[in-house]
Chain A
Amino acid sequence: MVQLTDTQLDRYSRHIILQEVGPEGQEKLMNARVLVIGAGGLGSPIALYLAAAGVGCIGIVDADVVEISNLQRQVIHFSSDMQRPKVESAAEKMRAINPDIEVNTYKIYLNASNIQEIISGYDFVLDGTDNFATKFLINDACVMAGLPFSHGGILRFDGQTMTVLPGHSSCYRCSFRQPPPPDAVPSCSQAGVLGAIAGMLGTIQAAEALKFITGAGTLLTDTLLTFDAKNMHFRRVSLKKRSDCPLCGENPTLHELEEGDRATCDLSA
């Protein structure tokens, strides 16, 4: 275990004072390894809050460079970061917020052949990706590896998230089954998204990661939390682990990872 220094006792005092976290919980955070997939709208607040919280090792995955249209919502990147790899720009801010942490960067697109290696060794994964192919890939790889993760998705004024504890709670495929046909997906770059929505959902996902690591509270398992920020209406939909889920059900039909069409919903385009 990490022994908290005086500086750390100060830095994390607002965590330590929480009964549900305490010095033990903070030490758990400092020993934790968390992977953030996507350094975009969701990944930005997730990475900032995990870094500030002192999560000991944070991996961040993104193949893209910062573009001007990202800056309306991807708050970890600044105007001066344009054309820099997003993982580099993000890592710099995370280290500036908290020099105690270790940041691993992966400037790659995840696919069926590299995801398992990248997620292994992490304790929790957060999905901040912008396309169905990768969302399903993350679900499948995490369920197969028994690795807990947070699903997140945003569109226009809406957001949704659920936390998956493989083997114990409902997975993304239990309810959503398979990616929608690419031609049905409304062109997401034209659909748009209200910038602050990314912060609303990303911080919920970050809170789930911190809760998972510290054991505080109750996770968003078997529950899809959705919100419509236009009317600021939040709703929890109860889901359950389905015996007929193609991935985690009783007679699974998916035994290996599928390679999907990634370019179905790119908000950054």
Chain B
Amino acid sequence: MEIRLNGESRFIDKVTNLSVAGLLEMEQVASPEMVAVQLNGEIVDRGTYQNTMIVDRNEVDFLYFMAGG
């Protein structure tokens, strides 16, 4: 399937039933707590990362927490 991840096209093969949690892992996001995930324009509730599935043509944005100033 093809998704848009952080604004860029991404082809994902060999994976069926990709969840938000799975995508975070696949992208090697070290601290998922430091990211808010937006899926097709909506913020995904942290408690539902395992059950929220990503399908073809989905748009996913990782919004990183940045506290420095």
Contact = CB atoms under 8 A, between A and B. Distances in A.
Tell me the dominant secondary structure on chain B's binding face: mixed
B69 A153 contact: yes
B11 interface: no
Given A186-B31, A235-B6, A180 B68 contact: no
A176 B67 contact: no
A265 B68 contact: yes
Interface in B29-69: 31, 33-34, 36, 38, 41-43, 46, 61, 63-69
Contact of A242 (B7, B33, B43, B63): B43
A240 B41 contact: yes
Nearest to B33: A184
Nearest to B66: A153
Contacts of A181: 33
A132 B65 contact: yes
B6 to A, nearest CB: 7
Given A176-B36, A240-B41, A184 B68 contact: no
A129 B41 contact: no
Nearest to B42: A242
Interface string A28-54: 000000000010111100000000000
A158 to B, nearest CB: 6
Contact of A193 (B7, B31, B64, B68): B68
Report, as a range, how many residues of chain B touch the other chain.
10 to 19
Given A175-B63, A224-B63, A237-B63, A186 B68 contact: no
A257 interface: no
Contacts of B6: 235
Contacts of A41: 68-69
A188 interface: yes
Interface in A126-140: 127-132, 135
A191 B5 CA distance: 25
A174 B38 CA distance: 11
B4 to A, nearest CB: 11
Contacts of A25: none
Contacts of B41: 238, 240
A197 to B, nearest CB: 9
B47 to A, nearest CB: 11
Interface of A: 38, 40-43, 127-132, 135, 152-155, 158-160, 174-177, 180-181, 184-186, 188, 191, 193, 198, 224, 226, 235, 237-240, 242, 264-265, 267
Given A154-B69, A180-B65, A186-B34, 6 more contacts: A127-B69, A128-B69, A130-B68, A154-B68, A185-B34, A237-B61
Interface of B: 6-7, 31, 33-34, 36, 38, 41-43, 46, 61, 63-69
10 contacts: A130-B68, A155-B67, A158-B64, A175-B38, A180-B31, A180-B33, A180-B65, A237-B61, A237-B63, A240-B41
